[in-house]
Amino acid sequence: MGSRDIAPGVAPRLVLDTGALIALERGDARAYQHLLTASQRGLLIVVPTLVVLEALDGARAPAVVERIVKKIDVELSLLPAMTRQVAGLKRSSGVESTTGIVVVLEALAVPGSMILTSDPVDIHRILEAAGSRGRVPVLRV
């Protein structure tokens, strides 16, 4: 891990959701192992800015979250084209988490990407509503 000069669309990604970032903040060994394995496989470790915001709000130690984010390969800004997809996917999936929707959309944006989450049930519901069931591996912390 660590900042690389790689465009975020070049390589498949491991997209972290809020629960994954919080697990890292709390020192969860399984979460760190998933990051190490993904990095060894050549995946970019990425986190959407919306996830960072939500994690900082729920963190016990926001400074730890900030240090983790600085070590992640890419922090992804929310693109306007993606924001236009969120409402429809929320309706069709029945999932209220805007952050979860953004995580799925980021994973779908680059073939071969994976998601690290603490809520695989909602992530699978979103993937199914997006017509992408089974297309994105979902790892649990």
Residue-wise pLDDT for 66-119, tens only, equals 999 999 999 999 999 999 999 999 999 999 999 999 999 999 999 999 999 999
What DSSP character marks residue 89? Answer: H
Q: Which tokens is 98 given?
A: 């805007």
CATH 3.30.70.260 fits 13-140, yes or no: no
Distances in whole angstroms, Cα of residue 89 to Cα of each of 5, 48, 73, 114? 32, 17, 27, 19
pTM exceeds 0.85, yes or no: yes
Q: Are 31 and 20 in contact (CB under 8 A)?
A: yes
Tell me how long the chain is: 141
The full set of domain ranges for the chain reads 13-140
